[in-house]
Structure 1
Amino acid sequence: MSKPVILCVDDESVVLDSLKIQLKNAFRDAYSYEMAESSDEAWEILEELCEDNSHVLVIVSDWLMPGMKGDEFLIKVHQRFPKILKIMLTGQADMEAVEKAIEQASLYRCLSKPWNSEELITTIKSGLTNYQYSQNYEQTSGDLC
């Protein structure tokens, strides 16, 4: 069985590189890490992972991106995959967008850029623990992808 996946979405490659390094340092080989530079690319990755029966546990998404904004993307994800843990990482989201994501995408947390690595890792760990994904993702895979 393939490893569960953490997907990061941001239009800045330097942000994605930094996230990948921080996640790998914290979680080592426990997860696979996918990076996307747009919501369209992220959606394609989600579709491919589903076809491969891979389980996406966490999405960390920027808010301000070309095309679809992060709150809209996370709402779309939530409609199809409600149990994926959704975190927004942004320096520019307004409160209305964050509230919309909380209400319509079940946003777990919004972190500000520049982010603190420890806070990001703690947020992911607590989210996975709260939702019991780390132990139960196989039993609930129909909702996780």
Structure 2
Amino acid sequence: MAKEYILCVDDDRTILMSLRAQLKRQYGERYSYEIAESAEEAWEIIEDAFADGDKVDVVISDWLMPEVKGDQFLIDLHGKYPEIIKIMLTGQADQVAIERSERDANLAACFSKPWTVADIAEAIEHAKLEKIA
């Protein structure tokens, strides 16, 4: 049976570990959880998952990262995998970047750091319902 992944992308490993632990408590065995410290690493995980017949269901990305900012990563991701639910976490994104992501990446939600896992879970469930409708 194919695995469904939630992928968290942030250049701060502490945030990644915290977010993964919170999501695991929220969803348990429903998902497999992956972390990436850059957009490049995230692409490798995504491509490997799909090549193995698995599915990346949700990507949660920081905005301010070296090399590729989260908004551009999510826009590029949407171009190749529009079915993936995309969420942005940020402590510093400007409104233009958020609006661009909403428009060009079909962003499900954007949360400021610190976030609550309840808000993220609600955004994921809402996005899943919209995909069905």
Q: TM-score, normalised by structure 2?
A: 0.95
> C-alpha separation between the residues in 2 aligned to 1:46 and 1:7?
8
Query: How many Å apart are 1:117 and its aligned residue?
Result: 2.1
3-state SS, counterpart of residue 21 of structure 1: helix
3-state SS, counterpart of residue 63 of structure 2: coil
What is the correspondence of 1:1-145 to structure 2 with a 5 Å cutoff? 1-132=1-132
Q: What per-residue deviation string (whole Å, max 9, x for no partner) do you get for residues 25-71 of structure 1? A: 01000011110000000011111111101111110000000110000
Query: How many Å apart are 1:119 and its aligned residue?
Result: 1.1
Query: How many Å apart are 1:103 and its aligned residue?
Result: 1.0
Q: Is the 8 A contact 2:74 2:101 kept in 1?
A: yes
Question: Which one-letter code corresponds to 2:113 in the other structure?
Answer: K
Q: TM-score, normalised by structure 1?
A: 0.88
Superposition misfits of 4+ residues, deviation over 6 angstroms: none
* Number of positions where the alignment pairs a residue of Structure 1 with one of Structure 2: 132
Gaps of 5+ in 1: 133-145
Report percent identity of matched pairs: 48
